[in-house]
Amino acid sequence: MSEKQKVKSIRIRPEGHLDVLSQGEVNKLLDTSQGGLYHLFRKCSLAVLNCGSTTDDVRQLLQDYEDFDIKVLQEERGVRLELSNAPAGALVDGKMIRGIKELMFSVLRDIIYVSDEITNNASFDHNSSDGATDAVFHILRNAGVLKTRTPPNIVVCWGGHSIPRPEYEYTKEVGYELGLRAMDICTGCGPGAMKGPMKGATIGHSKQRIKSGRYIGITEPGIIAAEAPNPIVNELVILPDIEKRLEAFVRIGHGIIVFPGGAGTLEEILYLLGILLHPDNQSIPFPVVFTGPESARNYFQRVDQFIGATLGEQAQARYEIIVDDPAAVAEAMHGGLRSVRRYRKAKGDAYFFNWLLKMYHEFQLPFAPSHESVAALNLRRDQPVHQLAANLRSAFSCIVAGNVKENGIRAVEAHGNFKLSGDADLMSAMDSLLTSFVSEGRMKLPGSTYIPCYEIVNG
């Protein structure tokens, strides 16, 4: 079925949650002004309906479905959504796929909650580190993601949405081994390395007769249209920005596996290592494994070299590289989770939210990629290593924005490429790594021509 085929009209009801909305909430969702929620709700909903898409071009998606519309209907029996000109691939025999319908109402839940209880709530101190963490906690709790009385078993899987087939198959093999060991999966919820581990884990869980397997997807409005949630996700959460999304990963995840990826994966790695380099986090067990098939061995050598050249040996000591051995990856993670459990139990920390992990506020401050903010980044060695990690993370964030985020793409079209400058050796290391990503097709989905959105300027 062509992804551009459309369903003229369909109405859907929620199942088990968010059955009613206030009139004020409905009005905000229908408000098409800048202060309303309609455009955000429409974009996120279209992304969910467009699962399985072969494009990560946000503007192309919006153009293909420019006549798509969504309305909230408040009826005596509760709320309903009315969709017009929606992607036909979201339906089977005239009915919406149940997993997609559930994700649609997750979008509605999170957009309403963040607007009412977080963004416009004066009780949250958005300028403090504790306030940012509190916001992440409340969003996750409202979404029902925080499960008490469950031992640590959530493995976060990071990696690219644009990866070759052998790497994708490998992510499924790792997911299968994790599932056999009763570990649950949390990813960025999109395609590629975000989808593969979930597919593999479903088979592992099925063989172990685990019927409560969790496939958690964490995203944010800026990226959701380029990395549409796959319908294996059974718990979707939309955080308001990339910084809160990243914090959610490290707060609910008990260990992290990193598969090959591009600029977005490096952004995640730099964030994670910057946090783990905090002196108060040195004794906190947090298993991190970099892995891929044999064909990705050189990829991880380059990533490891880049980390060593920028953040040093202390950062390299926080992860393990395992190549072409899915069972060994799962065994290493399983052992790491046992250490996490012992530590949390000894310290009296919750299994469901890593309160003991200390955050540098630099990693929580929203970074809005613009030509001015990118030019102002300090990419030099004359600063604490965690601040360098934060600034490098922001540099890769700007590349992600220029590659796949609507605002970033428009900024590059209007003002030219983002210009990254700093110490010559740092810029050389970044240039070498990014050049390898481009040559290997890791910046865009296969079949897309990549046009760089950045320039490396030494000095």
| pLDDT tens column, 92-139 | 988 999 889 889 889 988 998 998 889 888 888 888 999 999 999 999
pLDDT the model gives residue 146: 96
Distance CA(351)–CA(251), nearest Å, equals: 10
pLDDT above 90 covers a percentage of the chain that reads 59
| Residue 2 pLDDT class (50, 70, 90 cuts) | very low
Packing angle of the helix pair 385-404, 424-439 (nearest 10 deg): 40
Average pLDDT taken over every residue of the chain: 89
3 state DSSP class of 123: coil
| pLDDT tens column, 206-264 | 999 999 999 999 999 888 877 788 889 999 999 999 999 999 999 999 999 999 999 99
Tokens (6 digits) for 293: 């098939």
pLDDT the model gives residue 212: 92
Mean pLDDT calculated for residue range 145-169: 93
Mean pLDDT calculated for residue range 278-291: 94
The answer to whether domain 6-123 and domain 135-347 are alike in fold is no
DSSP state of 361: G
Q: Which fold has domain 135-347?
A: Rossmann fold (3.40.50)
**Structural domain spans, the chain:** 6-123, 135-347, 370-458
Helices marked H in 115-220 — which ranges?
Answer: 129-142, 165-180, 196-207
Straight-line distance from the first to the last Cα atom of the chain, in angstroms, rounded to the nearest whole number: 52
Residue 278: how many other CB atoms lie within 10 Å: 15
Tokens (6 digits) for 449: 């021509």
Question: Is the CATH number of domain 6-123 3.40.630.40?
Answer: no
Residue 380: how many other CB atoms lie within 10 Å: 13
| pLDDT tens column, 396-452 | 999 988 887 878 888 898 999 999 999 999 999 999 999 999 888 887 766 667 888
| pLDDT tens column, 348-358 | 999 999 999 99
Cβ atoms of 43 and 226 closer than 8 Å = no
Pick the closest to residue 314 from 361, 272, 258, 276 (CA basis): 276
Pick the closest to residue 265 from 89, 383, 397, 359 (CA basis): 397
Torsion of CA 217, 220, 225, 228, to 10 degrees: 0
The enclosing H or E element of 332 equals: helix 326-347
DSSP state of 91: E
What residue type is assigned to position 130 of the chain?
Answer: D
pLDDT the model gives residue 314: 94
Pick the closest to residue 211 from 163, 179, 252 (CA basis): 179
Mean pLDDT calculated for residue range 356-378: 91
17 or 370, which is more confident? 370
Q: Is 413 exposed, middle or buried (0-12, 13-18, 19+ CB in 10 A)?
A: exposed
Distance CA(417)–CA(411), nearest Å, equals: 8
Cβ atoms of 268 and 187 closer than 8 Å = no
Residue 328: how many other CB atoms lie within 10 Å: 16
